[in-house]
Structure 1
């Protein structure tokens, strides 16, 4: 598991508005890559292009290439639904299906894919909840509603749901922004564990979090409101935080703006 992502000359549009311009980057397999930058600079928009979620927005389109190993995710022959199975996503706010039990939340994607064997589903429930560091907390109440869990537990349930379909890449869009500090640390510990199996890309406004969990960091910025976001630089996380090559990166990290 865990594939490499190569992006080349990617432009992202909402109808005629260019939201992100000219991004070229490589995301290494089985690593954590963090996207940082001020609000509105295109981090989350760009993240959503990596599994074609951007297209769900009316007028959303891209120019350029996104390669998952040797496969062009935007080739005419590629099914966007299949892309989203291979490249899973965890959103900013925990979003368990409110009418479903904990168990049914975990296996919702598998059932959608046609898996019906109860033994297989039960095994996947346990595997995924163990993988999300949630099994010991919920194993005696799998039939209870997922929405009844705490915020941090709900987010880990959403991670369990995402990894149950065995993706190659896991995208996380500010997964801790709605959580308390203890739950945030639990998610960060989990991210560190999951990178042994998955390629992980995380958007965060918390620079300390980026420094703690990521192997590489990409800094996005924009010239002015209404202008497209750009990738300013990308490097090993220690290099970005200790000795960035661009002044704009240094200014952002030191708190001079953003």
Structure 2
């Protein structure tokens, strides 16, 4: 189910502005890849290129290749909607649809994709997605309540349930814990550990400890030429190596807190 992504010479533009330059990396299947680096160095922009979400901004485009399971996500004729079905996204702030029930929130993406289901199939899918997001036991008796009635940490797990209900192969997470308290953060981190058995996961985080705890590999982004210049992937390695013996001085300076 989960897929590896091979990125080669990827550049991201917003009109004339180059936001990300010459990124080449392998995102391994069934693993967690963390992207770290200071604000404004292209981590989230790069993340959004993996499911073509950046294209919703007028004038945004990409050069280079991002190949998943032998298919270039940017090849002519590839439908971005299909890409987004295969590559799910969880955002920084929990964003359940406020007027929808917990149940309808989980199935929103599935219905958007025009999948018609019998009620029993929809019930099974909602239960399996909520179970996968470690939320079923907490909400099974109030599925008709608004998604917005849940706590922040529960809302974020509801958004994860909504993402996995579509049955993607890859899950992108853009600082999924930055708006959460420590207990909710721990719940999400535990969940990420479980989800990597079934999904390829890429997480952007500003929390060094979190990157060290949840990821198998870590990539460090930095705009080495200064603010307003393109972000680049400076170094990427197994997380244990990155945090104990990085090969680039800038990586060590960032991880040790000397800047950023």
C-alpha distance in 2 between matches for 1:255 and 1:110: 42
Structure 2 residue corresponding to 1:245, chosen from 247, 253, 260:
247
SS in 1 for 2:197: coil
TM-score normalised per structure 1: 0.99
Structure 1: 5+ residue stretches without partners: none
How much does 1:115 deviate?
Answer: 2.2
C-alpha distance in 2 between matches for 1:126 and 1:58: 38
How much does 1:116 deviate?
Answer: 2.9
Structure 2: 5+ residue stretches without partners: none
C-alpha distance in 1 between matches for 2:116 and 2:83: 18
Matched, 1:227 2:243: no
How much does 1:77 deviate?
Answer: 1.4
Per-residue CA distance 1:130-167 (angstroms, 9 max, x = gap)? 00000000000000000110000000000000000100
- Give 1:140-159 correspondences, 5 Å limit: 140-159=141-160
The equivalent residue for 1:15 is: 15
C-alpha distance in 2 between matches for 1:122 and 1:89: 23
- Give 1:1-258 correspondences, 5 Å limit: 1-113=1-113, 114-222=115-223, 223-258=225-260
C-alpha distance in 2 between matches for 1:209 and 1:86: 26
C-alpha distance in 2 between matches for 1:66 and 1:54: 14
- Out of 137-146 and 68-77, give the one that drifted further: 68-77
Instruction: Give aligned pairs, total.
Output: 258
The Cα RMSD (Å) is 0.5
C-alpha distance in 1 between matches for 2:116 and 2:182: 37
C-alpha distance in 1 between matches for 2:39 and 2:175: 12
C-alpha distance in 1 between matches for 2:117 and 2:123: 10
SS in 2 for 1:245: coil
C-alpha distance in 1 between matches for 2:50 and 2:169: 12
How much does 1:221 deviate?
Answer: 0.2
Q: Which runs of 4+ in 1 moved over 6 A?
A: none
